[in-house]
Amino acid sequence: MKFTVLLSGGLDSTTLLAHLIDAGHEVACLSFDYGQTHRRELDAAAHFANFYDAPHSILRLPGIFSGSALTHDAEMPDGHYTDESMRVTVVPNRNMVMLSIAASMAIQNGSDGVAYAAHADDRGTYLDCRPAFIAAMREALSLCHWEPPMLLAPFADWSKCDIYKEALRLGVEVGTTWSCYAGGSSPCGVCGACSARSEAMKGTT
């Protein structure tokens, strides 16, 4: 089967890309430049699309998203995820917008569906990673076309530690993935994304 993968260049989406290829699927990658503070992730996405020899599109969504620490509109919190502190990193309706665009592209490029790397550890903060959202999007996509694309979220019940273990199994260049929410040229090590990544890695030792 062929899937259009939402690829940010982070650990989760890159592992998803490798996971689908390992399962024998054909893939096309889609990334978004939406004014995120951490645009460095797009370089990682381009690297991995090239590494896995997958077609890759980067779409610009200027001015659509605001009100989040990830789009320069709030102070970036440090430390591990908590529902309250990390709420400022929510980009409102981001996954619904991106999945809708991915579905349109999937229909055009002949993909059987779209895939994204929602996982269980994100459910507390990011509502568009919850099972109810995934189910609703599946229903919506089933009604969008005569040959509708399916929605694949194989990590929905996985922890980030599970994803890291899968990355190791698949030989993913973990050090080249980009998870940091800060806008620097190297990971800050203290933002929520860096903290979650570090905790996941420690959980495998």
Q: How many whole angstroms separate alpha carbon 156 and alpha carbon 22?
A: 18
pLDDT of amino acid 65: 56
pLDDT of amino acid 69: 42
Strand partners of residue 60? 33
37 contacts 137 by C-beta, under 8 angstroms: no
144 CB neighbour count, 10 Å cutoff: 12
Question: Whole-angstrom distance between the N-terminal and C-terminal Cα of the chain?
Answer: 35
Amino acid at 166: E
Q: What is the pLDDT along the chain (205 residues), one digit of tens a residue?
A: 999 999 999 999 999 999 999 999 999 999 999 888 778 899 999 999 999 999 999 999 876 655 544 445 445 445 555 555 554 545 677 888 999 999 999 999 999 999 999 999 877 777 888 999 999 999 999 999 999 999 999 999 999 999 999 999 999 999 999 988 877 788 988 887 888 899 898 876 4
pLDDT of amino acid 64: 66
The alpha-helical segments, DSSP class H, found in the chain are: 11-22, 40-51, 94-109, 131-142, 160-170, 192-202
CATH of domain 2-202: 3.40.50.620
- Rg of the chain, C-alpha, whole Å: 16
What are the distances in angstroms from CA 17 to CA 77, 83, 188?
Answer: 29, 28, 25
Full-model pTM: 0.87
What are the distances in angstroms from CA 157 to CA 14, 30, 123?
Answer: 17, 23, 10
pLDDT of amino acid 36: 80
Q: How many whole angstroms separate alpha carbon 26 and alpha carbon 30?
A: 14
